[in-house]
Amino acid sequence: GENVEQHPSTLSVQEGDSAVIKCTYSDSASNYFPWYKQELGKRPQLIIDIRSNVGEKKDQRIAVTLNKTAKHFSLHITETQPEDSAVYFCAASLSGSARQLTFGSGTQLTVLP
């Protein structure tokens, strides 16, 4: 089955700096890669996703890049703010269906004021 590895497990950045979280996946058949944000004591929520026919996707301060050849994808947050502090999870879908999502272990991002 699919295996998703996520790095780093913790990340601290100064407010205004950029943050990058990286994930690798094992199965080249995976074609859907979402990112979820989970604030302390709250539920995970989708913040951005990318499909295998696209190399990059951007939504305001958040961007995701995908390298299918290398089987890795990354989340980029620019101009970080304290409210970006949360745990971020990457995931990969083996068959393109939500039910097949395999999650990474999460990255605790702390934005220091």
Partner 1 sequence: ETGVTQTPRHLVMGMTNKKSLKCEQHLGHNAMYWYKQSAKKPLELMFVYSLEERVENNSVPSRFSPECPNSSHLFLHLHTLQPEDSALYLCASSQERLAGYEQYFGPGTRLTVT
Q: In the bound complex, what is the minimum distance in angstroms from residue 43's beta carbon to partner 1?
A: 4
95 binds partner 1 (CB under 8 A): no
CB of 113 to partner 1, least distance (A): 25
Q: Stretches 19-27, 39-47, 58-66, 76-84: which one binds partner 1 (CB under 8 A)?
A: 39-47
> In sequence order, what are the beta bridge partners of 65?
56, 74
Task: Specify which residues 53 forms β-bridges with.
Answer: none
Instruction: Say if CB 52 and CB 27 are below 8 A apart.
Output: no
Within 13 Å and on the Cβ side, how many CA atoms surround 2?
27
d(CA 31, CA 37) in angstroms, rounded, equals 20
Tell me whether residue 16 or residue 29 sits nearer to partner 1 (CB atom).
29
What are the residues binding partner 1 (CB under 8 A)? 4, 9, 32, 34, 42-46, 49, 89, 93, 96-99, 101-106
